[in-house]
């Protein structure tokens, strides 16, 4: 058996081996966990994927292809909805955390929305929705120092 590829995670190595087996190629994983993996509870180490098949490397190349395509406009609406929900939650629960989540989703929305007019209007809506949470946070902070 010859080495096909080396992985730093046991889970990745086993997934690759299972993929090869699903394609009718015998494969085996050999390796050991690093000391830090035992202490921290992770699976990092050096794991070799080995196989007798000469086409194992070529079949394994299929795993390197990206699975996801570019975001669709439908996803842009999803990011907008999340940005608005986080902005509303920021006024009620944790302003800093939810404002940050809202702004992160707003940035994802802006990167996926194709219509510039809709992008500008919805950005303004989300930014305006941030204001109550910021005011509440400022009042809470002020009450601690007065």
pLDDT tens by residue, 15-28: 899 989 998 999 99
pLDDT of residue 70: 55
- Write the burial class of residue 128 (CB in 10 Å: 0-12 exposed, 13-18 middle, 19+ buried): exposed
pLDDT tens by residue, 22-50: 989 999 999 887 766 666 677 778 899 99
Contacts of 37 (CB under 8 A, 6+ apart): 43, 44, 45
Regarding pTM above 0.75, the answer is no
pLDDT tens by residue, 92-131: 677 777 778 888 889 989 988 889 999 999 999 999 988 8
pLDDT of residue 101: 83
């Amino acid at each position: 058996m010859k080495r096909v590829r080396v992985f730093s995670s046991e889970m990745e190595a086993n997934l690759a081996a299972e993929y090869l087996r699903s394609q009718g190629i015998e494969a085996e994983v050999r390796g050991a966990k690093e000391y830090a993996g035992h202490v921290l509870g992770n699976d990092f180490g050096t794991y070799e994927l080995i196989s007798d098949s000469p086409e194992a490397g070529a079949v394994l190349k299929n795993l390197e292809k990206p699975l996801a395509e570019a975001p669709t406009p439908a996803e842009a609406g999803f990011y907008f909805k999340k940005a608005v929900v986080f902005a509303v939650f920021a006024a009620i629960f944790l302003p800093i955390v939810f404002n940050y989540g809202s702004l992160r989703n707003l940035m994802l929305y802006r990167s996926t929305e194709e219509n510039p007019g809709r992008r500008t209007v919805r950005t303004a809506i989300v930014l305006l929705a941030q204001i109550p949470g910021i005011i509440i946070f400022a009042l809470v902070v002020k009450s601690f120092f007065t």
